[in-house]
Amino acid sequence: MNIVVTLNLLASAAIAGILVYFLLKIRAFYHDFLQFVTSQDDKTPSGLAKVVDTIATRVGHSIAIEAKTTLMGKASGQSRLDTAIAGDIAKDSLSSISPLIAGMMSLFPSLGKRIAKNPALADYVVSKMAAGNHAGTPVQEPVNMSKYE
């Protein structure tokens, strides 16, 4: 019977030691948690405040970048649409002004694309066509072939 009582006391002491150990660990964790949550003085923010500030800054930055990208994409799309419509109007108005220019735009697709991308070139093309200098180089006089016959 003494052995049973002794074993019972040893087991109770071991369980009590384990409980004390866990209580000390919980108390240390609680103390660390309180230090993390509360600030030491008025000038220094707590650890939790620093973490929340960092998360809020990153989330805010991410939202701002996403909003900027979305708005810039919409503005860019609208600008491209406006330019394309202005280019189509310029090409069509040039074609209606002069069938020669319409033929040139058909023969030289790059000219039509350039006018579509930059409608202000339409006036330049009309002035070049009116001047009679289409290639941008001096016009050569035709050679008199009568002396070679």
Q: Which tens digit of pLDDT belongs to each residue from 106-133?
A: 787 887 777 777 777 777 777 777 776 5
C-alpha 52/C-alpha 47 separation (Å) is: 9
Mean pLDDT of 40-45: 84
Other Cβ atoms within 10 Å of 94 Cβ, number = 23
The whole-number pLDDT of residue 15 equals: 96
Look at residue 144 in the predicted model and tell me its pLDDT: 57
Q: Are 45 and 39 in contact (CB under 8 A)?
A: yes
Residues 105 and 91 sit within 8 Å (Cβ to Cβ): yes
Distance CA 17, CA 10 (A): 10
Q: Is residue 119 part of a domain?
A: yes
Residue 61: what pLDDT? 93
Alpha carbons 91 and 106: distance in angstroms, whole number: 11
Residue 32 domain-assigned? no
pLDDT tens digits for 130-144?
776 555 555 455 555
Q: Is residue 117 part of a domain?
A: yes
Domains of the chain: total: 1
- Asked whether residue 58 is assigned to any structural domain, the reply reads no
Q: What is the pLDDT of residue 47?
A: 87
Buried b / exposed e over 66-82, threshold 16 CB at 10 Å, is eeeeeeeeeeeeeeeee
DSSP secondary structure string, 26-39?
Answer: HHHHHHHHHHHHS-
pTM of the model: 0.42
Tell me the mean pLDDT in the region 69-80: 81
Mean pLDDT of 22-35: 94
Domain residues for the domain of 101 are 70-132
pLDDT of 45 > 90? The answer is no
